[in-house]
Amino acid sequence: MDPELVILWWWEVALKGVREQIFKGAEVIKVSATGGVYGRIEGEQVGHAELSLEEQEVIRKEAHRFGLKVASHAIGRDGILNSILAGVDTIEHGHFLDDELASLMEERNTAWIRFYLVKYIFNINTLQIELTVLNSTYQRILKFQKDGVSE
């Protein structure tokens, strides 16, 4: 496990985690709003929001108070939505981003940092999901470009 990884369970711990990272010299705070791609077979799924809206709001407020941006690793829809509503600065990945979420991101000036491939593919089911997501993401990008939405 990454020694710098901070696992958060409550908003008080979220606040403590942000302050510790700021004290260590962080230049950006990155949260994991959804799971499903870290290689653990059990205990996480893409569709599960790993941080509540309230936890993300606390993280964003504290990071912004110190002038830091907040990036959100968000693949599943619930995590993306929580991140946007919390006011994070960027959505990283955003595989299950849809038109409604994209419109909300535009309203709130949230950037989409898209990554097409996940580092590890563990089984044929994951591969099929990833290929489906990649196609869906590609089609969405084409639509956004056609509609004049910039990255």
**Confidence label for 43 from pLDDT (cuts 50, 70 and 90):** low
**Does position 60 have pLDDT exceeding 90, yes or no?**
yes
**pTM reported for the whole predicted model:** 0.71
Which helix (H) or strand (E) segment holds residue 90: the answer is strand 90-93
**Does position 71 have pLDDT exceeding 90, yes or no?**
yes
- CA–CA separation, 78 and 74 (whole Å): 9
Cα end-to-end span (Å), the chain: 32
- CA–CA separation, 81 and 141 (whole Å): 19
Cβ neighbors of 151 (< 8 A, separation 6 or more) are: 111, 112, 114
Percentage with pLDDT > 70 across the chain: 62
Which tops the pLDDT comparison, 42 or 62?
Answer: 62
Phi, psi of 38 (to 5 degrees): -90, -5
Average pLDDT rounded to a whole number, residues 84-92: 95
pLDDT at 66: 96
The 10s digit of each residue's pLDDT in 19-32 is 999 999 999 999 98
